[in-house]
Amino acid sequence: MISKIRVVKQILILASLSYLFFVLGNGVLSLTSPDEVFYAQTAKEMIRHKSWMTPYLFGQPQFEKPVLTYWLLRLGFVLFGVSSFAARFFPAVFAFLGVIAVYLLSLLGFKNEKKAFISSTILMSCGLYVGLARTLFTDMIFSILTLVSLTAFFWGYSSKETKAAGILLSFVFSSLAVLTKGPLGLLIPFLVIIGFLLVKNDIKFLFCRSFLWGIFIFLLLSLPWYIVMIKKYGSGFVHEFFYNDHFRRIIEAEHEGNDKWYFYPFSMASGMFPWSLYAVASLIYLIKKFRHNAPSIEVFLICWIAVVFVIFQTAHSKLVSYILPLFPALAMISGDFIYDSALLKKGARSLFLVSIGTLAMLLLVPIGLTAGLMKSSVYLSTYLPSKIPVYYFITALLAIIILMLFFILRNKLFKSVYIPALVMPVFLLAVPMISNDIEPYISSKKACEYLLRNYAVNNTILCSKPFVRGVRYYTDKEVAVINIGGKSLFSPHPVPLLDSDSKARDFLDQQRITYCVLNRSSVVKDVGRLMGNEFKFTVLKIIGNEYLLRIERL
């Protein structure tokens, strides 16, 4: 029997831990290029243009994403000022809400507090979830709105008394997901729910007045912004938003190296780290025991995982973050597998083997770091000149491994599986130690601060493609992109694109002095060739992987 007091205690524990996993130290690293600064700069420019409906970037309307994330960003800036902490605040809040939603859905479906708690702990401490909770992307907000929509539906499905409220709330959160990332906010919950009801032979569940009211509420909440944008910008909005940023990503790979059949299976396993082996074992466990008359929650979860995987697997544009909406379901089936295996004699052997495998996987990390130290790894010496963080990380991981092994040898398998949750706090505690070393390689902040502090920059800054958004965010100056012989930006930006020698020379000829933030490739391949007798360049400073140059017209 479920104890309300125990449920409240567990939720309070999860809330406290969520602060550690998602919020504490969220402003240590500056906003990174190219994506975090893209969203933050859009919110800044919306404030500057006093616009609540039209997102702006580089001084012009941009249509890559719907408006809800920018509204939340503006609220974060009001609460905390324009800062990296403020920008990352709402992804962290939504990550916490996701942990609680998984706890409540697990409690509703499994009717077991321990399963609910371990499922929530797994989600809260897996690598991809923690990473996206602490970075500014739309994926966390979108995934949690999708999760809550599905949770609301299952709540409504579970009882006649909650049917109407569950259906209506499902549509409400689906409409908010549509305002976060577009049509997928409706497509994913709809396909999961339809698939679930078809398997359960219960499609008549939707034949009710609440379903019609839900459609009306969905349209009322989600359509107005789209109607305003189409009325104001017409075919420009339709082409950019619906074709370029949605349909084109289905038929064309934005990142060609990711367009492999194994990309998402690998992303699921690696993103669940340190729970990777538990997640793989739980999928096998669920498929083996799945049957037509399986418990509703098991049918629901397998439909959930299948729908999200198939949708993103068939698209050619693939990113690890896209697959996040299925991680709540993965965490729940992992919690189910762990709890059931710990109770069954036959299952305990499987759980024992998975736990030992997890120990071996964790052990590879300190072994690899130790080997890097012994061989004076170029990678470690470049990004981490001080070895203290590495020693700390090795020691902490070894302590976790020893603690987990202790519980396994004491035959306390269920307690031992909580130990991997400590891996993420160990990593997070290392971030302040390495932030000064790695920040120049992931953010343009230091390079821009140096440039503005030491030179009178009063015209357009020339940038390599990866840095253009960051330079705009941290300088508020006009920018141009040099990418001779390369591809243009996947989504067009209203900035000069210098993709040929003639365009680059014409641009440089218009400014007596041009300051540049370039990568090494642009400096080596392009700058020297462009100079001739008309220009000369000086390398002002190298900060991380950004070369600060001054080009003077002779």
What confidence tens digit (pLDDT) does each residue in 297-345 have? 999 999 999 999 999 999 999 999 999 999 999 999 999 999 988 887 6
Residue partners of 260: CB distance under 8 A and separation at least 6: 318
Neighbours of 198 (CB within 10 A): 11
Q: Give yes or no for residue 245 having a pLDDT over 70.
A: yes
What number of CA atoms fall less than 13 Å from residue 408's CA on the CB side?
22
Name 57's bridge partners.
Answer: 60
The pLDDT of residue 289 is above 90: no
Distance from C-alpha of 112 to C-alpha of 80, rounded to nearest angstrom = 39
Residue 544 region by backbone torsions, left for phi larger than 0, else alpha for psi between -120 and 50, else beta = left
pLDDT in tens, 99-150: 999 999 999 999 999 999 999 999 999 999 999 999 999 999 999 999 999 9
Beta bridge partners of 61: 56
* 541 phi and psi angles, rounded to 5 deg: -170, 155
Q: What is the DSSP letter of 22?
A: I
Distance between CA atoms of 80 and 94, rounded to whole angstroms?
Answer: 17
CB neighbour burial string for 526-538, b if at least 16 within 10 angstroms, e if fewer: bbeebbeeebebe
pLDDT of 371-426, one tens digit each?
Answer: 877 776 666 666 666 778 888 888 999 999 999 999 998 888 888 889 999 999 99
R_g over Cα of the chain: 25
Burial group, residue 437, by CB count within 10 angstroms (0-12, 13-18, 19+): middle
- Check residue 10 and give its pLDDT: 94
Percent of the chain, pLDDT > 90?
69
Q: What is the pLDDT of residue 453?
A: 95
Residue indicated by tokens 């700069």 = 41
Q: How confident is the model at residue 219 (pLDDT cuts 50, 70, 90)?
A: very high
Q: Is the peptide bond before 34 cis (omega within 30 degrees of 0)?
A: yes
CB 456 within 8 A of CB 53: no
Say what percent of the chain tops pLDDT 70: 97
The pLDDT value recorded for residue 378 is 61
Are 306 and 330 in contact by the 8 Å Cβ rule? The answer is no
Mean pLDDT of 470-494: 85
Q: Distances in Å between the alpha carbon of 233 and those of 62, 142, 244?
A: 11, 25, 15
Instruction: Show Cβ contacts of residue 213 under 8 Å, excluding neighbours closer than 6 positions.
Output: 168
Residues 518/504, Cβ–Cβ less than 8 Å:
no
Q: Which residues contact 16 (CB under 8 A, 6 or more apart)?
A: none
Using CA atoms, how far apart are residues 427 and 47, in angstroms rounded to an integer?
Answer: 35
Q: Is 32 helix (H, G, I), strand (E, B) or coil?
A: coil
Q: Which of 64-78, 95-109, 364-378, 436-450 has the lowest mean pLDDT?
A: 364-378
Does residue 207 surpass a pLDDT of 90? yes
Mean of the per-residue pLDDT values of the chain: 91
Task: Assign 193 a pLDDT band (cuts: 50, 70, 90).
Answer: very high
From 107, 112, 208, 116, select the one nearest 158 (Cα to Cα).
Answer: 107
Short-list 496, 62, 65, CA closest to 236 = 62
pLDDT score at 372: 72
* 488 alpha carbon, distance to own chain's centre: 24
pLDDT at position 373 is 72
pLDDT at 75: 94
CB 69 within 8 A of CB 180: yes
Element counts in the chain: helices (H) and strands (E): 26, 8
Q: Give the list of residues 6+ apart from residue 378 with CB closer than 8 angstroms, or none.
A: none
Amino acid type, 173: F
- 3-class secondary-structure state, position 495: coil
* Terminal Cα distance for the chain, rounded: 83
Q: CA separation (Å) from 116 to 204, 328, 340, 419?
A: 30, 12, 13, 17
How many alpha carbons lie under 13 Å from residue 519 in its C-beta half-sphere? 14
β pairing state of 60-61 and 56-57 = antiparallel
